Amino acid sequence: MGAESPDPRSPHPVSLDPDPDEMRRLAHRAADLVVDHLLGIRDRRVVTPPDADVLGPLLAEELPRTGVGLDATMDRFFGSILAHATLVNHPRFFAFVPGPGSFAGAVGAFASAAANLFVGTWLGGASAAQMEVQVLDWLRQAMGLPDGFGTGILTSGGSMANLGALAAARARATTEGPGAGFRVFVGQETHYSVAKAARVLGIQDAAIVRITADGEQRIDLDALAEALVAARESGHRRGVVCATAGTTSTGAIDPLEAIADLCAEHDLWLHVDGAYGAATAFLPEREDLRRALGRADSLTLDPHKWLYAPFEAGCLLTPHERWLRCAFTGDGSYMQDIPRDAVNFFERGPELTRGGRAVPLWFLLRSVGIDAIADAIRGDEARARQAESLLAADPRVRIVTPTRLSVFTFTRADGDEARARAWLDTLLTRGSTMLSSSRVDGSYVLRFCVVNHATTDADIERAVAEVLEACDAPPLACPERAS
């Protein structure tokens, strides 16, 4: 007899999910562990200097052919892995631009992941797509932007929103005329993701024009005006000016109204990267900013920063749905059932499959309300000023740029850069307060950026005390650091 032919029937179905009672028990346990983590966060280290020699062995495990179960997996995550994490939502994390998140947003993220909503096409996920439309409109209204600013997309972050904006601007340019003359004007302090987006879109480095900064780290208007004239005279009539509402290093807001005037004069697209600062347009009293943002052709904001949404939540808003679609639309015979006159987010960005990105934001905005978010933003700004004035009172400290939005920069009054670096290294090693550094007009500075609704006055006092305690740390022996 020959070899037996394989059984054509499917194997017995295997569910990867536990039975109902066990599912409930595990969900409650997960909720307890999450809440314990959040409640205990203030007493934990903010940062443990990352060490691949520790993290490698910590995470290295045999390929798990036989699962160990969810209890053991949660124990490992909450018990040992999180202990090594840098906690960017810690109330004393003041480095870069913090990602504070929020409990309401986290509950939304859990709900969204469990429902596993698909939001790429109208047919595949109309209700979640409509929720995203609604959230985009709430954001528009909260920032006082005109009705016409009615389209956009939630992205994974500010970098992807900047990419979408540049793609839309270039789609307009190439449709309306020869694309070869396309120029991207950026400031000296523009976030690197803008130039990176240009490169990804195949725009040559030579077509990226860098405009010098004025004395307050903003785009210098005269230099921009000159560059625009020079570009036009050399036949480069198409392009995008990328202004920033809140630079990463110092929170500077470019002179947006004047830049909008120049863009109107030269018929150029104005993109505003407000990944950090556009959230302050939630404050009704910031009328100037709200009016200026309303003149942009596209606007990046980053709800996972200062709107307290969990990662990953970026956002691109624009009045020009046509150009967004022109940049990103696509087709295939397998797409023929999708109604093209409805909202299809795959036509507004590079991805087809996207999850329910709006859900965490919808939970957050709906449950706490935008007035509370505006109050939290005001609180962060006030606490940054509090930290600045406490530090300024110490004669060893020199404030380099004052609090703008919720960030200020400072250094040692004696100007010793090696010791300023040692100061930051000491803080990182101690791990109880985290700052980061940057350069202002070429010189090394420490940055203190407050973006966290959970940060209290007491956190600021403790952080400043820790910063001052570390001030006189000797330069590290490490030769490349000391030089």
Ligand X SMILES: Cc1ncc(COP(=O)(O)O)c(C=O)c1O
Please, are residues 338 and 241 in contact by the beta-carbon 8 Å criterion? Answer: no
Which positions lie near ligand X, rule CB under 6 A? 97, 157-159, 191, 193, 244, 248, 273, 275-276, 302, 314
Nearest CA among 349, 270, 271 for reference residue 312: 349
Give CA–CA dist 202/210, Å, rounded.
Answer: 17
Outline where DSSP puts E strands in 58-198.
Answer: 151-155, 183-187
Shortest distance in whole angstroms from residue 155 CB to ligand X: 8
Token couple for 483: 């030089």
Q: Which is nearer to ligand X, 121 or 132 (CB)?
A: 132
Shortest distance in whole angstroms from residue 190 CB to ligand X: 8
> What does the chain come to in residues?
483
Q: Which is nearer to ligand X, 121 or 250 (CB)?
A: 250
Q: Which is nearer to ligand X, 142 or 161 (CB)?
A: 161
Q: Which is nearer to ligand X, 151 or 300 (CB)?
A: 300
Q: Tokens 């022996």: give the residue.
A: 477
Q: Which is nearer to ligand X, 97 or 384 (CB)?
A: 97
Shortest distance in whole angstroms from residue 280 CB to ligand X: 13
Residue 395 CB contacts under 8 Å (≥ 6 apart), including other chains? 413
Q: Which is nearer to ligand X, 272 or 428 (CB)?
A: 272
Shortest distance in whole angstroms from residue 180 CB to ligand X: 27
Shortest distance in whole angstroms from residue 22 CB to ligand X: 37
156 backbone dihedrals φ, ψ, rounded to 5°: -75, -15
Q: What is the DSSP annotation of 252-311?
A: -B--HHHHHHHHHHHT-EEEEEETTTGGGGGSTT-HHHHHHHTT-SEEEE-HHHHT-PPS
Longest dimension (CA), the chain: 95
Please, are residues 136 and 359 in contact by the beta-carbon 8 Å criterion? Answer: no
- Output the CA torsion 130→134→140→143 (10° steps): -150
Q: Which is nearer to ligand X, 248 or 452 (CB)?
A: 248
Shortest distance in whole angstroms from residue 154 CB to ligand X: 12
Shortest distance in whole angstroms from residue 112 CB to ligand X: 19
